Chains A and B, each alone.
Chain A
Amino acid sequence: MTLVRGAKSGSTIEGGLDVEKERWLGRQPIGLLFILPYVIFLIGIFVYPLVVQFVISFYDFFFAAPGADVDRPWVGLQNYADVLQDPTFQRSLFNVFVFMIINVPATVFLSLVLAYALNTKIRGLWFFRGAYYAPYVTASVAIVTVWLFMFGVTGIVNTVLGPLAPDPSWLINSYWAMPMIAIFVTWKQLGFFILLYLAALQNVPNEVYEAADVDGAGAVRKFRSVTVPGVRPATTLVIILATITGMNLFTEPYLLTNGGGPNGASVTPVFYMYQKGVEQGQAGYAAAIGMILLAITLLIALVQRRLLERD
């Protein structure tokens, strides 16, 4: 009896340990070993810097020489308060909003339509696929130079437009600078998003198109009623990625409009963060901008996901 009891009680303990072990390590603990390198990478490259950024955003922080005796006082939420009241930061958020209003819908629409077209059997398909993907894999610096020449005061676009060309020219015009950046980024990134949609289109069953044919649906109707709903998860991904691209915008205002010009019309939060943190050595302030930007991006992505995946 005692033995039995003991055996019972032992198996209960072992069972309890197993449950506890499974709760922490999962059913296949070896899987943890496989993901460990990536987890370490993630902690080292993303989590650790993020936590450091969070911490220094509460200090009047600047980077200093190792061993140097410098004073970097705790300022609490002062950096956050200053950033939120900073007109340049507010302007940069507005600029990014303008960018996203143009870039996100244009990216979704053009990449879906072009992916749909490239998914059909047309002559010279390989050429079109390559042509749309080429800007994505070409270095921004090289393409920016071409755009600077094209959209300069004496560039080909203004030459063609003649008196219709804006004055000041596109990239130095307060109204046109940000839309031009949005168009540039849309065009440059299109190849990547087309690729995402092409992959998604492979998952739309042919039977659905056949059924639509039987129902007498035309090409436009099939696109609206079969293709668009069929690639909805990809659309969610494209919208979120395009939004993140917008919030992280740096290279284009840095190169295309010479540092957020004209007159701050293309300053973005990340560019401003660079100006403050690197050029002006105010790392604490720049860190606060980064944290606010992260919060806004997460919030937008969350709202988008909720809205797009409602059903």
Chain B
Amino acid sequence: MRRGLNFVLAIAAGSLLLVACVSDGGGPPESANTSRGPIEVWLSTNPEEVAWGEQVVASWNSQHPDEQVTAQQIPAGKTSEEVIYSSIVAGNAPCVVLNTAPSAVPQFQQAGGLVALDTFPDGDSYVEARTGKEIADQYRSPDGRFYQIPWKVNPVMIFYNKKLFAEAGLDPENPPLATWDEFLQTSRTLVQKGVAPAAIWPAPSSEFFQSWFDYYPMSAARTQQQLVEDGKATFDSPDGVAVGNFWRTMYAEKLAPQEKYNGDSFKDGAAAMASAGPWAIPVYKDTIDWGVVPIPTEDGKPADQIYTFSDEKSLAIYYACEHRLTAWEFVKSATTEAADGELLELTGQMPMRQNLPEVYASYFATHPDYEQFADQAGRVVEVPNVQNSTEIWQTFRNAWTSAVVFDDEPIDKAFADAAARANELLAEE
């Protein structure tokens, strides 16, 4: 017995010694900020983006034989953010990820995984000039620095299936979806006529990011506010509760199901509407005759006053990069007016560039499907760039599923409790 105890203690002591010996190791040298050389970049797994990325990399490599760029898709994982975070911790993150979620930036920044853009003389000015100061400022971190380059935006709007609308006796060219009452009535008509099991089928599950496609677009359309403003949660308000009540009606009347759909409900015809951005156009174009309208508001605001969730993705330069100057130059070359135009052409996603409809007027003239999204791209609300953002979103989502999806508690109480917890987390900063 005593021998066994000694053995366990010896192993524990040895392990503790190992723990003590293991440090975080060394990062890249100081000179990395001004160093040039070969770099690695990660692209998203979207086929259209991969095609664009490979084109940009090939073009760069042909002009920079001593600073070759190697591109690969983000390795498989539950989410890209988890894979990127793991690579930051392991010290083998690529130099650039062309698909960094703004909601993950606070966590990556806290982990010391990102390079601030003011490391480069023209870092901040480049972002502000390309995106416009007002929108770009949403992407500044609480310390006032940029750790991401706002890249492309997928403003969330309401897709609808024209064929199903026509079958339900609704005008497919001018569907009544501008106000909440119209949206509810249209939803009732669609379900009662049996053209689809659901009017709309946002995922009702508990993952923290699901609120970006039900609550957040409607909240943005109503208030133009982020989930957190001035260090306080905004959803514990009459506006937030009103959005909750609207969706409660959708769930209570079974116009939106409480069960998650396994697949794409809109593509499969299981739902007559979907909230998505222009990335979805290539997905639906061959199977569905679709139309798109702005997010409905309670009183039917004019379309040019309606805001929505951006569903934006950024570029970021990662701390493990040993040739950061090359990385920065590559980022700039991937976001020139011409490169952004290619991105738009190949993927249909909107570059975060000022005056988008005017800059690419010829593209939108030949692609009218995308015009509304281009117009909407100038009125978007981003996720808040604050510490503990994932936990704040999860706290809100738990309140949402409890009160709105399953009606287990009053919405105002659930939102107030969640806001109190979110405010505690914000105060921890």
Determine the chain B residues whose CB is within 8 A of the CB of A47 once the complex forms.
11-12, 15
A153 to B254, CA, bound (A): 12
The residues of B that contact A68 with a CB separation of less than 8 Å are: 24, 27, 111-113, 319
Residues of B within 8 A of A48 (CB): 15, 18-19
Task: Indicate if the CB atoms of A65 and B394 lie closer than 8 Å.
Answer: no
CA A67 – CA B24 in complex, angstroms?
6
Decide if B394 touches A70 in the complex (CB within 8 Å): no
A254's nearest neighbour on chain B, judged by CB, is: B78
Residue of A nearest to B3 (CB): A23
Answer whether residue A264 sits at the interface, using C-beta atoms and an 8 A cutoff: yes
Does B89 contact A259, Cβ atoms closer than 8 Å?
no
Minimum C-beta distance from A293 to chain B (A): 19
Which B residues are CB-close (under 8 A) to A258?
203, 205-207, 260
Is there an interface contact between A261 and B88, defined as CB atoms closer than 8 Å?
Answer: no
Query: Which A residues touch B391, using CB under 8 A?
Result: 280, 282
Could you tell me if A65 and B91 are in contact, using CB atoms closer than 8 angstroms? yes
A225 near B: Cβ within 8 Å? no
Shortest Cβ distance from B112 into chain A, in angstroms?
2
Query: Could you tell me the dominant secondary structure of chain B's interface residues?
Result: loop
B408–A263 contact, CB under 8 A? yes
- The chain B residue with its CB closest to the CB of A145 is B262
- Contact status A279-B259, CB under 8 Å: no
Contacts of B205 in A (CB 8 A): 258-259, 261
- Given A48-B15, A51-B19, A275 and B394 contact (CB-CB distance below 8 Å): yes
Cβ of B27: which chain A residues have Cβ within 8 Å of it? Answer: 65-68
- Would you call A261 and B401 a contact (CB within 8 A)? yes
Q: How far is the CB of A16 from chain B (nearest CB, A)?
A: 18
Residue A169 at the chain B interface, CB threshold 8 Å: yes
Residue in contact with A262 in the complex, picked from B15, B207, B388, B401, CB distance below 8 Å: B401
CA distance A172 to B257 in the complex (A): 11
Most chain-A CB neighbours within 10 Å: which of B15, B204, B394, B405?
B15
Shortest distance from the beta carbon of A89 to any chain B beta carbon, whole Å:
13
B112 touches A64 (CB 8 A): yes
Cβ-based interface call for A52 (8 A): yes
| Most-contacted residue by chain A among B26, B88, B93, B260 (CB, 10 A) | B260
Contact-residue bracket for chain B: 35 or more
Q: Are A280 and B390 in contact (CB under 8 A)?
A: yes
Among A24, A48, A278, A279, which residue has the most Cβ atoms of chain B within 10 A? A279
A-B contact pairs, 10 of them (CB 8 A): A47-B15, A62-B111, A64-B24, A65-B93, A68-B111, A172-B258, A172-B406, A258-B205, A262-B406, A263-B206
Which residues of the other chain, A, contact B259 by a CB distance below 8 angstroms? 152-153, 168-169, 171-172
Given the known A-B contacts A51-B16, A172-B259, A259-B207, are A281 and B110 also in contact in the complex, defined by CB atoms under 8 Å? Answer: yes
Distance from B101 Cβ to chain A, minimum over Cβ atoms (Å):
12
Q: For the complex, give the distance between the alpha carbons of A174 and B401 in Å.
A: 12
Confirm or deny: B107 has a beta carbon within 8 angstroms of a beta carbon on chain A.
Answer: yes
Contact B207 A281 (CB under 8 A): no
A63-B111, A65-B27, A261-B206 are contacts. A281–B85 as well, Cβ < 8 Å?
yes
Question: Are A263 and B401 touching (Cβ within 8 A)?
Answer: yes
Known: A172-B259, A258-B205, A280-B388. A51 touches B12 (CB 8 A): yes
For A66, what are the chain B residues with a Cβ–Cβ distance below 8 Å? Answer: 24-27, 91, 320
Nearest Cβ on chain B to A298's Cβ, whole angstroms: 13
B-facing residues in A270-291 (Cβ within 8 Å): 275, 278-282
User: Does A207 have its Cβ within 8 Å of any Cβ on chain B?
Assistant: no
The answer, among A154, A171, A263, for a CB contact under 8 Å with B406, is A263
Does B231 make an interface contact (CB < 8 A)?
no
A311 within 8 A of B: no
Q: Does B82 contact A (CB under 8 A)?
A: yes
Instruction: Check if A269 is an interface residue, CB within 8 A of chain B.
Output: no
A172 surroundings in chain B (CB, below 8 A): 204, 258-260, 406
Residues of A within 8 A of B93 (CB): 65
Determine if A174 and B207 form an interchain contact, defined as CB atoms under 8 angstroms apart: no
**Beta-carbon contacts under 8 Å, B240-259 to A:** 257-259
- Residues 4-58 (chain B) with a chain A CB within 8 angstroms: 11-12, 14-16, 18-19, 24-28
Give Cα A149 to B263, complex, Å: 12
- Report chain B residues within 8 Å CB of A152: 259
Q: Which residue of B lies closest to A264 (CB)?
A: B398
The answer to whether B208 has its CB under 8 Å from any CB of chain A is yes
Across-interface contacts of B408 in A (CB, < 8 A): 174, 263
- Residues in B with CB closer than 8 Å to A69 are 112
Contact A64 B258 (CB under 8 A): no
Q: Chain B CB within 10 Å — which of A51, A65, A153 has the most?
A: A65
Contact A259 B206 (CB under 8 A): yes
Beyond A43-B15, A51-B19, A259-B206, whether A174 also contacts B110 by CB under 8 A is no
Q: How far is the CA of A51 from the CA of B320 in the complex (A)?
A: 28
A contact residues around B257 at 8 Å (CB)? 153
Contact A262 B16 (CB under 8 A): no
The answer to whether A70 and B401 have CB atoms under 8 Å apart is no
Residue B72, interface by CB 8 Å: no
Bound-state Cα–Cα, A263 to B397, Å: 9
Interface: A55 (CB within 8 A): yes
Give the residues in chain A near B19, CB-CB below 8 Å. 48, 51-52, 55
Mask: chain B, 178-217; 1 = CB below 8 Å from A; 0 = not? 0000000000000000000100000111111000000000
Chain A residue nearest in CB terms to B409: A263
A294 close to B (CB within 8 Å): no
Taking the closest CB of chain B, its distance from the CB of A56, in whole angstroms, is 9
Q: Which residues of A have CB within 8 Å of B197?
A: 154
Residues of chain B with a CB closer than 8 A to A174's CB: 406, 408
Chain B residues near A154: list those with CB within 8 A: 197
A residues near B319, Cβ cutoff 8 Å: 65, 67-68
Q: Does B402 contact A (CB under 8 A)?
A: yes
Top 3 nearest A-B pairs (CB, nearest first) are A68-B112, A67-B27, A258-B205
Q: Using known A-B contacts A65-B93, A66-B26, determine if residue A281 contacts B390 with beta carbons closer than 8 Å.
A: yes
- For the complex, what is the distance from the CA of A263 to the CA of B320, rounded to whole Å? 39
